[in-house]
Amino acid sequence: MAIFPLIYSLSISFMSYRLIPPLPPRFIGLDNYIALLGQERFRAVIWTTSIIVVISVFLQYVIGFAVAMALHAKIPGEKLFRVGLLLPMLIAPVAVALIARMMFHPTIGPLNELMTVFGFPNLPFLTNKYWAMGSIITVEVWQWTPFVILLMLAGLQTLPDDVYEAATLENASPWQQFRDITFPMLLPISVAIVFIRAIESFKIMDTVFIMTGGGPGIATETLTLFAYQEGFKKFNLGYTSALSFLFLIFIIVIGVIYLAALKPYVARRI
């Protein structure tokens, strides 16, 4: 079940295989890969996806860490916060995207009314290139920050109290405590969380599909959406498979560089 799709798509990535018109598959070696690498649109799509991943994962991590710290500081009503804050990551991306379309709606959405109060009526949240990217990143942050909160909170709970007591006796300021104790001790789990989030974010599809459909033009088209368009609008299967292997190689290369670069700071294996 798990291996077959891999092997099957690897085999057709070296072929010219289209369902429409239904020509028999023909072996063409690396031509699919070469064609892809030379295509302007492919590079644009990689760039778009990378921007979404880098910005949204960065924001998720910073906000998630901050919220987890705040929750850890024993605040009234903490239990309620926890249930509410977990919810977005458990909602289907499809539903999240539909909610986002309601929120960002140019005439009936509440966000539009808020912006009108500040003097910016009818902003093109989903139809302007830059606004659309911003909206997609916002939705990603909304949905996945809870994941970071959940795991960072678990990490914070494993930290030993006595270190902090010692630090308080030494008159270390809260900022010093954070910089010299909390952050270094949570670095391994942080690296793992960012890694998981980045890998999952690279596959972003449902949200973009429903919110903008990749538009305007191809301004917000992500890799997975591009693969979908090639495969299921044009039924160009060989090409799509080659695309996904390039995608896989791209992710693995980035992942290996990321882990290697951070290895000196992280004592344990992930």
In the bound complex, what is the minimum distance in angstroms from residue 38's beta carbon to other proteins?
A: 21
Binding residue count for other proteins, defined by CB under 8 A: 83
Nearer to other proteins, 182 or 241 (CB): 241
> Applying CB under 8 A, does 7 fall inside the site for other proteins?
yes
Per CB under 8 A, the list member of 32, 48, 236, 241 interacting with other proteins is 241
Site track 113-142 with other proteins (rule: CB under 8 A), x = hit: x----------------------------x
Residues contacting residue 129 through CB under 8 Å, at least 6 positions apart:
216, 217, 219, 220
In the bound complex, what is the minimum distance in angstroms from residue 31's beta carbon to other proteins?
A: 18
Per CB under 8 A, the list member of 39, 133, 203, 219 interacting with other proteins is 203
From 32-40, 53-61, 128-136, 244-252, span contacting other proteins (CB under 8 A): 244-252
In single-letter form, the type of residue at position 12 comes to I
From 36-44, 54-62, 128-136, 249-257, span contacting other proteins (CB under 8 A): 249-257
Residues contacting residue 235 through CB under 8 Å, at least 6 positions apart:
18, 19, 20
In the bound complex, what is the minimum distance in angstroms from residue 200's beta carbon to other proteins?
A: 8
Per CB under 8 A, the list member of 52, 153, 191, 208 interacting with other proteins is 153
Distance CA 106, CA 155 (A): 41
In the bound complex, what is the minimum distance in angstroms from residue 264's beta carbon to other proteins?
A: 20
In the bound complex, what is the minimum distance in angstroms from residue 180's beta carbon to other proteins?
A: 16
Note whether 201 and 53 are within 8 A (CB): yes
Note whether 34 and 42 are within 8 A (CB): no
**For the packed helices 129-158 and 183-202, what is the interaxial angle rounded to 10 degrees?**
140
In the bound complex, what is the minimum distance in angstroms from residue 55's beta carbon to other proteins?
A: 17
In single-letter form, the type of residue at position 39 comes to Q
Distance CA 242, CA 227 (A): 10
Note whether 245 and 223 are within 8 A (CB): no
The conformational region for residue 43 under phi > 0 = left, psi -120 to 50 = alpha, else beta, is alpha
Nearer to other proteins, 51 or 248 (CB): 248
DSSP string, 43-63: HHHHHHHHHHHHHHHHHHHHH
> Which residues inside 46-105 make contact with other proteins, applying CB under 8 A?
63, 66-67, 69-71, 73, 75, 79, 81-88, 90-95, 98-103, 105
Distance CA 136, CA 141 (A): 9
> Which residues inside 163-192 make contact with other proteins, applying CB under 8 A?
171, 173-174, 189, 192
